[in-house]
Chain A
Amino acid sequence: MTESRHIPVKVPVLARVEGEGTLELRVHDGTIEDLRLRIFEPPRMFEKLLEGRDYTEVPDMVARICGICPVAYQMSAVHAIENLFGVEPGPWVRDMRRVFYCGEWIQSHSLHIHMLAAPDFLGYSSVVEMAGKYAPEVRRGLKLQALGNDIIRLLGARSVHPVGARVGGFHHAPKPEEVSALLEKLHAALPEAEALVRWTAAFDLPLQEQDFTCVALRHPREYPMNAGRLVSDHGLDIPADRFEAHFTEQQLSHSTALHCRLDGKPYLVGPLARLNLNLDRLPDPVRTLVDGLDIRFPSRNMHHSIVARAIEIVVAIRVAINLLESYQEPQRPYVEIRPRAGSGVGCTEAPRGLLWHRYELDAHGKLVSARIVPPTSQNQARIEDDLRQSLQSFGLNQREEALRHFGERVIRNYDPCISCATHFLELRIT
């Protein structure tokens, strides 16, 4: 006998992710017939808003796309424009941009681990409920998040939508005494971040392996942030300006966010993909820490993303310490720019994964066109794939409430930023 379930379930908002949308699920005879992550948050048209603007305005404008990862938007933008102008801002700027990015990774990952993801794995509906039993861990999380904000403030003047970055460098160089004060906090946080890794690795994480393609930047020596080639674990190895030859964005009728595919197939970006592809780029002490865990990387278990985020917090703290210990105040924290016409590409590793920008400018430095491909739109097809596999093995005969919670959990694991992608959750199961 065949049976189809048509029971509409409406949930006003998907908890603990950003944005609005619906998960639609059609189950027939115990099999998923159709599954759609319908994203209906209105398009934000950022690329169009940038047209006609001066290149100097771009870093501050793109920072407004996201309250959690403004540094990522600024970094992809400044690299794209400098690529276009043929400018190399030198080692001080390069190092400080890496420190700046460390701040954002620490802040964003810490927020996701404690506020959004950990309650799922520990059986709580929210961090507020979880804080009753796990107060020291939540306090530690808030402390790490504050440390990330401190780093962003050091170079960006403020932690929300920072204003310190410019094409060519920074508007302002921190004073050595500010750097020393921050270094003390970084050293104090290191053992706490290492304890965080062990805490997340000890969660009772579901054992479910999936087949997926990981994509991330890869740098000759460093754990990737601002520079590197685009690589996958399926043979891709291209410079960032070849992105459009392999990655295509597609408009689907059920989503206002574009779906991006690699050679026609879904793929994963973000902490787990980055770690899987860059284990040999971990600083030695972090590699030792990771090797001491019961979890083996590279991992095909998406639930290991939370552990990957915690590991990247340790990476970021160590990188920031390393770069700031030899800090010297420069004569000028930026290089002069001479605009020229052309197009340039920038690709950096936002906390949630690859963030690719391309800009075309005229001879006066005004924007002719912009294209921004955020991590969440790249992960959308992968999230749908994961949902199909995970819900099928979870059992489709479960109650709607259980299916809804399970689906939300799968989605949250990707730390999707729907507003960045434009883009999220209400659940409809039919």
Chain B
Amino acid sequence: MKIRILGIGSPFGDDRFGWEAAEALRHSAALNAVAPGRIEILALDRPGAMLPAHWQEADIVILLDAIRSGAAPGTRHCLEARDLSSTSALCSSHGFGIVSAIELARALGNMPSRLLVRGIEADSSWTGFSLSPAVAGALPSFVADFAEETLHLADPHALANETSHRIGFNRI
């Protein structure tokens, strides 16, 4: 079972969330304890239509991204690929988002067996260079819980014996 975690973002504000989460996960002792090669973590800068190229040979792909749904900033979102479909066929050379990329991959028969999206609601009023306080505040617990979820996905049978120990170690 090969899992690829793709943190999607851009340099400023809450759109950094995917990158910041990917970076924090790279330092997760719990994930680092998993056999090499089974979990890969990448940070991507607005991949557009190139997104599916980054999930080749992975069984499970998890996209980490800032989300805007109108919910309170900092709210967690857990979505499956099937939950995502664009309401229109609109796209532009500059705005080929992850929904369009997933739809294109689906049309080309290029989907992993599971594609999950995990994110945090961005603060649309935030204009700072770094994360907004709401997203920055939600990040540590998101990362800890996400690491646990990833371990479960990587090895569902081992969860009962090992996960609680690993997560506990991570927090020391």
Contacts and interface: CB of A to CB of B under 8 A. Distances in A.
A29 to B, nearest CB: 34
Interface string A116-150: 10000000011111011001001100100110010
A217 interface: no
B89 A125 contact: yes
A115 B108 contact: no
B23 to A, nearest CB: 16
Given A128-B107, A135-B107, A112 B89 contact: no
B104 A68 contact: no
Given A131-B104, A135-B107, A126 B91 contact: yes
B91 A16 contact: yes
B46 A67 contact: yes
Contacts, number: 75
A68 B89 contact: no
Given A18-B94, A115-B96, A415-B93, A132 B107 contact: yes
A15 B91 contact: yes
Contacts of A15: 88-92
B91 A68 contact: no
A17 B92 contact: yes
Contacts of A160: 45-46
Contact of A135 (B48, B88, B108): B108
Contacts of B128: none
A408 B91 CA distance: 13
Interface string B11-48: 00000000000000000000000000000000001101
B90 A13 contact: yes
B94 A115 contact: no
B94 A419 contact: yes
A18 B92 contact: yes
B50 interface: yes
A120 to B, nearest CB: 12
Contacts of B108: 131, 135, 138-139
B50 A142 contact: yes
A149 B91 CA distance: 20
Nearest to A126: B89
Nearest to B44: A160
Contact of B92 (A16, A125, A131): A16
Interface residues of A, number: 35
* Among B45, B52, B93: residue with most chain A CB under 10 A: B93
A10 interface: no
A276 to B, nearest CB: 23
A417 interface: yes
A68 B39 CA distance: 31
A146 B104 contact: no
A251 B142 CA distance: 50
Contacts of B107: 128-129, 131-132, 135, 138
B81 interface: no
B50 A68 contact: no
A388 to B, nearest CB: 25
A111 B49 contact: yes
A158 interface: yes
Contacts of B52: 142
Contacts of A116: 92-93
A127 to B, nearest CB: 6
A132 B109 CA distance: 9
B94 A68 contact: yes
Nearest to B53: A146
Contacts of A126: 89, 91
Contacts of A419: 94
B103 interface: yes
A146 B53 CA distance: 9
B91 A115 contact: yes
Interface string B91-115: 1111110001001100111000000
Nearest to A67: B94
Contacts of A417: 93-94
A375 to B, nearest CB: 13
A132 B91 CA distance: 17
Nearest to B100: A128
B68 to A, nearest CB: 17
* Among B52, B88, B95, B108: residue with most chain A CB under 10 A: B108
A128 B93 contact: no
B76 to A, nearest CB: 27
B82 to A, nearest CB: 16
Contacts of B93: 16-18, 68, 108, 111-112, 115-116, 415, 417
A169 to B, nearest CB: 24
A18 B104 contact: no
A16 B89 CA distance: 9
A419 B93 CA distance: 11
Contacts of B50: 142, 145-146, 149
Interface of B: 45-46, 48-50, 52-53, 88-96, 100, 103-104, 107-109
Interface of A: 13, 15-19, 66-68, 108, 111-112, 115-116, 125-129, 131-132, 135, 138-139, 142, 145-146, 149, 158-161, 415, 417, 419
6 contacts: A15-B92, A68-B93, A111-B49, A112-B93, A139-B108, A160-B45
Given A116-B92, A161-B45, 8 more contacts: A15-B90, A16-B90, A18-B94, A18-B95, A66-B94, A131-B104, A132-B107, A138-B107
- The 5 lowest CB-CB distance pairs between A and B, nearest first, are A126-B89, A131-B107, A18-B94, A18-B92, A128-B103
